[in-house]
């Protein structure tokens, strides 16, 4: 007798194919699609998304999920059914027509945003953003649990268990510690000039080095692609097809490099997921924050450490001998770790990064649960940058238009970036008890580091929830003090305070 679980899987296969197709279309739109295809591509993606919706919300699949839950399932199978049930429950509350309309809106919004950013024209993006916010609110109303605010419902979508009740104190802790630390750094720290990194660096040579760098981190080019896009991102179709992008600037050597390391951190997470969950709802990373922890761990704790550059800096100098003349390895490491208030989140240093996220968190709270209107956004954005970072964007392109997230409908996503950093510090600390991290880096051998991450985090995919995974990998519940300690120790030493 055939099991209901297996029958359920035939539907899962269809849904996964539709999801992969959507993934490929969004990758393609950012990396290669012709400009004028966008409106029709949006229609096509809207249709794929609504076909996914139709299958998942069908009574037949609902019944199979209930029946499969009654069968004897192993851990992986149980996780697949659990994830499926969770998504179905959320979607079932949204009327089909509304879901379709939303999907189509989102599919077209990225191009509108990109043009608005390019032309520094917030007004042209505002109507689309207004619709996105309106629809997101309605959708949150359908799915929010009792006692949850709309914004809480959005936050949980990206990081289960982290609503405002958890995030308000988390950001407060960061604020209490980082703001005074940043003040000391800028006022009393020994200044670090990074001028040499802003010389002219041939993009073709940068491409060569970034390709090498991705492979060095562990990116497997047999199962992945490295391309270029306006805003670097990772698109994991499945563990045998993971795509990342970077963005080259002739006058910012470090920008592409750390984007590449960051996205490679995401990518090896996806690549290391066990084949048992490939092309299933348990196949991606455990959560947005957990995913971000893997990219930030590679980018910051590993990629900006002095040991990492011991074997690598000579290679960089081989390519850019003239441009980096007179820059010692020690100078270089100080430069890539310098902290200074800046306008662009993705270019922000480790110390100020969480303030960028905090600003977005505060704004989203007001946009969703408060009374902030879209037309007021540029002003509020600029005021907050002035208040927290002491600098004011000169235009909206380097202000409120800088991130693609809202155009993608990802409201409530930003806080997971800050959580990711805190997860990363906690994981890095736990790894350090079992692996000689600096020793490995000095020898240019990242295998023990990757091995530990694969064993403790990556291979599980979404089989274990993020909170549980963190607890099991590190031996304790979420504890942001590791992040505070890490930042405090690092920047006091770097700035000789």
| Residue 97 CA, distance from chain mean position | 29
Q: Rule CB under 8 A: is residue 44 a binding residue for a second copy?
A: yes
For the CB of residue 46, give the shortest distance to a second copy in the complex, in Å: 8
Q: Rule CB under 8 A: is residue 99 a binding residue for a second copy?
A: no
Distance CA 346, CA 329 (A): 24
> Among residues 52 and 158, whose Cβ is nearest to a second copy?
52
Residue 93 CB burial class (10 angstroms; 0-12, 13-18, ≥19):
middle
Q: Which is the catalytic residue, given 19, 22, 263, 299?
A: 263
Residue that the structure tokens 């950093």 belong to: 421
Q: Rule CB under 8 A: is residue 273 a binding residue for a second copy?
A: no
Distance CA 300, CA 289 (A): 15
Rounded to 10 degrees, the C-alpha dihedral 220/438/197/177 comes to 110
CB 120 within 8 A of CB 160: no
For the CB of residue 311, give the shortest distance to a second copy in the complex, in Å: 27
**Contact letters (x/-) for a second copy, 181-220, by CB under 8 A?**
---------------------------------------x
For the CB of residue 40, give the shortest distance to a second copy in the complex, in Å: 5
Residue that the structure tokens 């929830």 belong to: 465
Query: Which of 78, 92, 225, 344 is in the footprint of a second copy by CB under 8 A?
Result: 225
Sequence-distant (≥ 6) Cβ neighbours of residue 468 within 8 angstroms: none
> Among residues 11 and 392, whose Cβ is nearest to a second copy?
11
Strand partners, 235: 243
Q: In the window 140-159, what residues touch a second copy (CB under 8 A)?
A: none
HSE on the CB side for 196, CA within 13 Å? 18
Q: Rule CB under 8 A: is residue 25 a binding residue for a second copy?
A: yes
Angle, CA 18 vertex, CA 14 and CA 19 arms, to 5°: 115
> Among residues 60 and 379, whose Cβ is nearest to a second copy?
60
Q: Rule CB under 8 A: is residue 58 a binding residue for a second copy?
A: no
Q: Is there a catalytic annotation at residue 215?
A: no
Q: Rule CB under 8 A: is residue 221 a binding residue for a second copy?
A: yes
For the CB of residue 261, give the shortest distance to a second copy in the complex, in Å: 19
**Residue spans of alpha helices (H) in 34-74:** 38-56, 59-70
Q: Rule CB under 8 A: is residue 76 a binding residue for a second copy?
A: no
CA distances (Å), origin 50, targets 30, 133, 340, 487: 22, 20, 45, 45
| Residue 423 CA, distance from chain mean position | 13
Stretch of residues binding a second copy (CB under 8 A), selected from 37-45, 417-425, 442-450, 453-461 = 37-45
| Residue 259 CA, distance from chain mean position | 11
> Among residues 45 and 174, whose Cβ is nearest to a second copy?
45
Distance CA 54, CA 59 (A): 10
Residue that the structure tokens 């996220």 belong to: 357
Q: Rule CB under 8 A: is residue 26 a binding residue for a second copy?
A: no
Q: Rule CB under 8 A: is residue 479 a binding residue for a second copy?
A: no
**Contact letters (x/-) for a second copy, 435-474, by CB under 8 A?**
----------------------------------------
State the catalytic residues.
263
Residues making contact with a second copy (CB under 8 A)? 13-14, 16-18, 20-21, 24-25, 28, 32-37, 39-41, 43-45, 47-48, 51, 220-225, 227, 237-238, 240-243, 278-279
């Amino acid at each position: 007798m055939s099991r209901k679980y297996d029958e359920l899987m035939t539907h899962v296969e269809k849904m996964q194919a539709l999801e992969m197709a959507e993934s490929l279309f969004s990758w393609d739109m950012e990396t290669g699609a012709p400009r004028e295809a966008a409106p029709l591509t949006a229609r096509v993606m809207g249709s794929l998304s609504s076909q996914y919706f139709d299958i998942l919300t069908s009574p037949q699949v609902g019944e199979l999920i209930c029946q499969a839950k009654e069968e004897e399932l192993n851990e992986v199978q149980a996780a697949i059914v659990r994830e499926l049930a969770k998504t179905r429950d959320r979607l079932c509350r949204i009327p089909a027509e509304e879901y379709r309309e939303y999907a189509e809106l989102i599919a077209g919004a990225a191009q509108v945003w990109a043009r608005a950013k390019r032309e520094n024209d917030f007004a042209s993006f505002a109507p689309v953003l207004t619709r996105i916010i309106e629809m997101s609110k309605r959708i949150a109303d359908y799915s929010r649990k009792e006692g949850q605010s709309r914004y809480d419902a959005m936050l949980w979508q990206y990081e289960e268990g982290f609503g405002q009740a958890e995030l308000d104190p988390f950001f407060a802790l960061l604020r209490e510690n980082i703001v005074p630390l940043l003040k000391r750094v800028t006022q009393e720290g020994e200044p670090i000039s990074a001028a040499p990194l802003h010389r002219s660096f041939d993009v073709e040579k940068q491409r060569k080095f970034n390709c090498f760098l991705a492979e060095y981190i562990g990116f497997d080019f047999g199962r992945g692609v490295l391309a270029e896009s306006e805003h670097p991102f990772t698109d994991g179709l499945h563990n045998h097809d993971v795509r990342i992008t970077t963005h080259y600037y002739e006058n910012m050597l470090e920008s592409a490099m750390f984007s590449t390391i960051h996205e490679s951190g995401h990518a090896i997470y996806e690549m290391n997921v066990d084949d048992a969950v490939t092309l299933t709802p348990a196949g991606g990373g455990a959560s947005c924050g957990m995913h971000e922890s893997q990219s930030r761990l590679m980018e910051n704790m590993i990629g900006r450490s002095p040991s990492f550059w011991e074997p690598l800096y000579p290679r960089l100098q081989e390519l850019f001998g003239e441009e980096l003349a007179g820059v010692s390895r020690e100078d270089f490491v100080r430069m890539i770790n310098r902290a200074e208030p800046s306008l662009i989140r993705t270019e922000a240093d480790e110390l100020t990064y969480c303030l960028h996220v905090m600003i977005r968190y505060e704004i989203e709270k007001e946009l969703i649960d408060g009374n902030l209107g879209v037309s007021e956004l540029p002003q509020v954005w600029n005021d907050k940058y002035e208040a927290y970072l002491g600098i004011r964007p000169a235009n909206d392109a380097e202000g409120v238009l800088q991130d693609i997230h809202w155009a993608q409908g990802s409201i409530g996503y930003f806080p997971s970036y800050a959580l990711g950093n805190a997860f990363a510090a906690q994981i890095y600390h736990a790894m350090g008890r079992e692996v000689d991290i600096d020793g490995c880096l000095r020898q240019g051998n990242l295998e023990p580091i990757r091995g530990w991450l694969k064993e403790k985090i990556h291979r599980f995919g979404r089989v274990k929830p993020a909170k549980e995974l963190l607890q099991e990998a590190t031996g304790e519940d979420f504890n942001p003090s590791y992040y505070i300690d890490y930042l405090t120790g690092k920047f006091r030493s770097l700035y000789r305070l």
